[in-house]
Structure 1
Amino acid sequence: MTPRWTTMQRPRGLERLIGRLCVAIALAVLIGFLSPRAQAAGGLSISNPDGGAVRALVIGIDDYQHVRKLRGAVADATDIVSSLRTMGVGDVVELTNAQADRASILREVSALVERTRNNDLIFLSIAGHGTQEPERVKGSEPDGMENVFLLPGFETTPAGSVQRILGSEFNHFIRQFELRGAKVIFVADTCHGGGMVRDIDPRAAEMSFRQVPRYTLLVDELKPVTDRNDPKSELDLDHTAFIAAVDRHTKAPEVRIPGIDGLRGALSYAVARAVEGNADINHDGKVTLKELFSNVRQVVYQLSDQRQNVVTISSPAQRLETDVAFELTRGVVLIQGPTAGAAPGQTGAAAPIEGRAPAPLPVTATAPVAPTGAAPVALRVAAPIRLAALDGKTNYFTSVKPQDIAVQAVQPTDNPDLIWDPVSHDVIAWGDVVAYGVDVTGLPTVVDRTAAIRELKRMATRSPQVMRMWPDDRQQRRGQTVEVDLSDVASKAVLLFNVSGDGTIQMLYPIGSDASLARSANLRLPLKVGEPFGAEQIVAVTSQQRMVDLENVLIQLNRRRASGQVIKSLERYLPADARIGSIGFFSVP
């Protein structure tokens, strides 16, 4: 069945306005792409715009002794440390697992304060469990609850109570850096309270979240580090940028990053790529706070399938548009924009629209044909899709032979990419139903689609097109209206399409009388939810030039199960300045 996302019913006179409703939102320009590892190999390095040194303390904890262990926080710390060192930062201290006890952290922070000089830039990063406790300084938090970071030996005994660090203590440390004339970037890849907007399907494998339930300490032996100069809150600091994985009301999951084994924190991954150069949106060699915040927010939003909305806070005296977080240099030459042959960047996603598809093309058994003269392009060699049956049997999958990727049959407990329910025939991925009622013969297209989405996410991390789905990430039901909002697209060519849960492509924009170039900074499309239900991946591609070949391919692929062909076409026809947005959301009957 073809995906049917419909535009809202409207008077005939408003027909041409759909897809062009403008909203005045100024967001950072995200153009171009340079491979982070290629940049580093070419001598690209990070530097401090104020002339001082760049220093860092990076903490990651998986191995908790008395609360649930995590699976990706140490990898997060290692990734950020590797990126900083690759980019030329020499003063980097890494504390992981048992190394990250309270005494060691206090000792290393104190030593870092002593090394800090005027105009230095300090990176502080922590990945691990968080929670909340009643605030100690009355009025310091809007909800009366203080954020707390748990250390490996924490438990609710008197001795175990010492193994935690209060959010107010980190503010104390940051003030010490500021008093020495330094600027600080603080990254908290953890969560402290709240739940989720979108429920997890109970048949899914257990998900890992960076939060423990609130607790009661009958005896608290922690003696906080504090003095009278401490700020009451983050807003009382002067030269500090805060980046948190989620707000105070939602959980931070550990996610799968395309091409990387195991689980990771989406925020830490995004920060590591930003440090390597991805956040330099306009390629002028200067990463402003606005560029840093915008890049990290979009990458996390996409990698988490909307489950995470990063929180960014800057000191009141800082100017987001002009204050430079860090610079990128290659010898004495600033980074230049991509050349004509550079690999394009990609990101984001958009939703399908009922009534916005061109006239359906006849579906035949013939594979879609690319425009004349195009050289054949194969999908990147990638790890196989791990497929499990809910009952643990693997004999169902002997005939499952996808076109674009290999399949590995595993157990439901072996970190599968997809779980198939042999009773309902639903296909589940990472807590969400990807497709409903798929029998074994239909599984190959779902597997191919999974591989294609994995590649889309990888592409979208490089140079994302800013894109949002409204109103939120909850499951959308039949007849509900959602909106796709693209930012900063004035005078740019826009292509918008959907990849449904069974791999069917649906062209969304431009169709009919839609303008090939967006006329305003924002493009907002209202969509109405229809069947088939499950996963939808909305993809936006933008460029300064019209993408005629790619547009023609998408029209040919419209209403066909051809997710792999879409990836090949993107790799073949994307212009050098392309940006991609790729956002997944989920619908239910």
Structure 2
Amino acid sequence: MRMPRGLDCGITRLCATIGLAALIGLITPHAHAAGGLSISNPDGAAVRALVIGIDDYQHVRKLKGAVADATDIVTSLKSMGVGDVVVLTNAQADRASVLREISALVERTKNNDLIFLSIAGHGTQEPERVKGSEPDGMENVFLLPGFETTPTGSVERVLGSEFNHFIRQFELRGARVIFVADTCHGGGMVRDIDPRAAEMSFRQVPRYTLLVDELKPVSDSNDPKSELDLDHTAFLAAVDRYTKAPEVRIPGIDGLRGALSYAVARAVEGSADINNDGKVTLKELFSNVRQVVYQLSDQRQNIVTISSPPQTPDTDVAFELTRGVVLIQGPAARAASGSAGSGAIEGQAPAPPAVAAKAPTIPTLAAAATKELPAGDAPGSLRLAAPIRLAALDGKTSYFVSVKPKDIPVQAVQPTDNPDLIWDPVSHDVIAWGDVVAYGIDVANLPTVVDRTAAIRELKRIATRSPQIMRIWPDDRQQRAGQTVEVDLSDVGSRAVLLFNVSGDGTIQLLYPVGSDAALARSASLRLPLRVGEPFGAEQIVAVTSQQRMVDLETALMQFNRRRASGQVIKSLERYLPADARIASISFFSAP
């Protein structure tokens, strides 16, 4: 039996197992629209949409990215050839306008039409009005800009049952519906937020009591009791009923956004057509959006997808894609000119996959010192326009005068100025978006954390473009020393797999293949147990898969192994990624 290799980042590889799983890969978005790609209805009828986004709440906490979400989805739909698109944002989205526009859309709907309904904004829960319609007795509610707990303000909301009422009207006219709810309705978080971090924005308000409720719900005898009583509708919700949905940072985009809306917009542009057959099944749509949201939210979001019982997600087509002109390949879709050969690296011939084994005792690995890669070894520096915004917890910027990152500019800001990183001058911990990225980092070592932050931003961008399905188990809680987490890759049968980690200080750790690992996975899933150890903080697990072995990229990762070389890894990916590459990039966080 092959023994695991001890490595020097915050995790230890135990053993790899190949098992059975399923699902998806992806292609590059945006290139489609540029190549004349259009969305079409598989039934040959029209595609229509109503899109709602609300930031400017008058009486409850304002949001920051819901209007941008609506704008993004509308832009994507129109760029893909959808003409009948109505958008309501902020004050436009009062109850009278929402009911008017959705009723008008019902009237325009014809047999076999495809209807997109999307809403981004605040949600909450109220006791159900139809007894037995909800498993926990609570109904989802969508809040409109003028909502408040007064008799007049109580009208400015839409009940989940009312959306179901209108969806039934669409179905009765012979239409299919895709409903996107980028809100949350209750609950908390699995992983706590470090109290030193900047305040996060969530799309949920606390439950309330209405002493006088003047809302008169829209309903009739045809209304379904719940979503499961509908026949031709697919639901995508930002989170389950018990979890909060944060507004997140999207690489390369200013401000905050909803991860679900962003993922849906990219899917509409064609990124969910996994096998390039021009048909996006419900399974492809759900899987693609789920993976993108999971990655962008650093595991804080697991979306909920529901299809009507009569539907068959594996085969039912959500929408089709047609191309009017020939796509000219750009940099993101370039052919792999010699960058991914089929031969084995010298001294590392392919071998059968390892079988499951009990984790052996692993010595302490933190003693193996990491090395910074000399500047001469770098393939180039990152060329990202936005600098990394760095703040000290006490607001002093003088600490950072000597901070000179290798690959990206740094900008010293105040903790209230939306920093990418917050450094605690007392503990020397580095915090990002509610999580400790690295513990005990002095000023001299901050540049490697800054470069690592830029690299992770770029990895997220690339992985969103062409995701590989990957999960980290058991959950998104902060992992403790000695615990085991498992990386689970799906749909990798007969694909070459490269798996590596980027630790909180930017150290690269090659996880697969090592030793006698098979060059090509021989089953549908690859499961790799990892043991948590020092140094603690952020671990970014990155997977790259392709139909052929990626010899040049594999060689580069072996060169960077145990080195602080996050920027160089990005340049190697830019240089050596084959055209069919699928990428996953997922964070987990550890603590002593």
Assess same fold via TM > 0.5: yes
Residue 563 of structure 2 aligns to a residue whose secondary structure is: coil
1:205 aligned residue: 198
Q: Residue 329 of structure 1 contacts residue 335 of structure 1 at CA under 8 Å; is this kept in 2?
A: no
Report if the CA contact (8 A) 1:490-1:522 is conserved: yes
Equivalent residue, structure 1, for 2:374: 366
Map 1:68-467 → 2, pairs under 5 A: 68-331=61-324, 340=335, 363=371, 366-367=374-375, 369=377, 376-467=379-470
Quote how far apart the aligned CAs of 1:485 are: 0.3
What runs of 5+ residues in structure 1 fail to find an aligned partner? 9-17, 345-352, 371-375
- SS of 1:6's partner is strand
Q: 1:379 to 1:333 in 2, by over 3 A?
A: closer
**What is residue 12 of structure 2 aligned with on the other side?**
6
CA, structure 1 residues 335+25, in 2 after alignment: closer, same or farther (shift >3 Å)? farther
Kept after mapping to 1: 8 A contact 2:8/2:370: no
Deviations 1:172-213 (A, max 9, x none): 000000001100000000000110000000000000000000
What residue is the counterpart of 2:28 in the other structure? 34
Q: Quote how far apart the aligned CAs of 1:563 are.
A: 0.2
Q: List per-residue Cα deviations over 1:122-164 (Å, max 9, x = no partner).
A: 0000000000001000110011110000000101111111000
User: Who is 1:570 aligned against?
Assistant: 573
* Structure 1 residues 169 and 262: alpha-carbon distance in aligned structure 2, compared to 1, 3 A threshold: same
Aligned residues of 1:20 and 1:518 also touching (Cα < 8 A) = no
Q: CA deviation at 1:331?
A: 2.3
State how many pairs are aligned: 561
CA–CA distance in 1 between the matches of 2:172 and 2:363?
Answer: 60
Note if contact 1:150-1:165 (Cα within 8 Å) is conserved in structure 2: yes
SS of the aligned residue for 2:11 comes to coil
Matched residues in 1 for 2:23 and 2:123: separation? 30
How far residue 507 of structure 1 moved from its aligned partner, in angstroms, is: 0.8
Q: In structure 2, how many angstroms separate the alpha carbons of the residues matched to 1:106 and 1:433?
A: 45
Query: 1:495 maps to what in 2?
Result: 498
Q: What are the equivalent positions in structure 2 for 1:475-490 lying under 5 Å apart?
A: 475-490=478-493
2:370 and 2:562 in contact (8 A); partners too = no
TM-score (norm 1): 0.92
Q: Which residue of 2 aligns with 1:347?
A: none
Q: State the 1:334 CA deviation.
A: 11
Instruction: Measure, in 1, the Cα distance between the counterparts of 2:305 and 2:372.
Output: 49
Work out which of the residue numbers 21, 38, 45 in structure 2 matches 1:25. 21
Task: Give a deviation string over 1:372-421, Cα, whole Å, max 9, x none.
Answer: xxxx5542332000111111111111111101000111111110000011
> Secondary structure at the residue paired with 2:564?
coil
Query: What is the aligned counterpart of 1:52 among 20, 45, 49?
Result: 45
Equivalent residue number for residue 350 of structure 2: none
Contact 1:405 1:451 in 2 (8 A): yes
> Structure 1 pair 335/236, CA: closer, same or farther in 2 (3 Å)?
farther
Greater shift after overlay, 379-388 or 145-154?
379-388
Give a deviation string over 1:322-366, Cα, whole Å, max 9, x none: 111111111288999966269x9xxxxxxxx97899x97984763
Letter of the 2:16 counterpart = G
Match of residue 471 from structure 2: 468
SS at match of 1:76: helix
Deviation readout 1:278-331 (Å, 9 max, x if unpaired) = 111111111110110000000000000000001000001111111111111112
The amino acid that maps onto 2:308 is S
| 8 Å contact from structure 1 (residues 284, 334) kept in 2 | no
Q: Partners in 1 of 2:372 and 2:441 — Cα distance? A: 21
Q: Which amino acid aligns with 1:543?
A: S
Secondary structure of 1:474's counterpart equals: coil
| Distance of 1:332 and 1:365 partners within structure 2 | 45
Match of 1:13 in 2: none
Where 2:488 maps in the other structure, the secondary structure is strand
- Residues 511-522 of structure 1 aligned to structure 2 (within 5 Å): 511-522=514-525
The SS at the match of 1:125 is strand
3-state DSSP of counterpart to 1:409: strand
1:369 to partner: Cα distance: 3.5
CA distance in 1, matches of 2:132, 2:139: 10
After superposition, the CA RMSD in angstroms is 2.2
% identical aligned pairs: 83
Q: What residue identity is the alignment partner of 1:148? A: V
Equivalent residues of 2:10, 2:536 under 8 A apart:
no
1:285 and 1:335 in contact (8 A); partners too: no
Distance 1:478 1:422 in 2: 25
Structure 1 residues 365 and 46: alpha-carbon distance in aligned structure 2, compared to 1, 3 A threshold: closer
Distance 1:442 1:361, change over 3 A: closer
Preserved contact between residue 481 and residue 591 of structure 2 (Cα < 8 Å): yes
CA contact (8 A) 2:429 2:439 kept: yes
SS in 2 for 1:152: coil
1:485-564 equivalence runs, <5 A: 485-564=488-567
In the alignment, structure 2 segments of 5+ residues that lack a partner are 1-6, 340-359
| Cα deviation code 1:415-443 (max 9, x no counterpart) | 00000111111100000000001111110
Q: Which amino acid aligns with 1:219?
A: V
**Structure 1 counterpart SS, 2:401:** helix
Provide Cα deviations, 1:541-560, integer angstroms capped at 9, x if missing partner. 11111111111111111111
Quick check: 2:155–2:214 contact (8 Å CA) kept in 1? yes
Cα distance change, pair 275–584 in 1 and its aligned pair in 2 (3 A): same
Query: What is the CA-CA distance between 1:46 and the residue it aligns to?
Result: 0.6
Give a deviation string over 1:86-139, Cα, whole Å, max 9, x none.
111111000000000000000000100011111100000000000000100011
What displacement does 1:512 show? Answer: 1.0
Q: Aligned partners of 2:244 and 2:417: how far apart in 1? A: 23
Partner amino acid for 2:160?
Answer: G
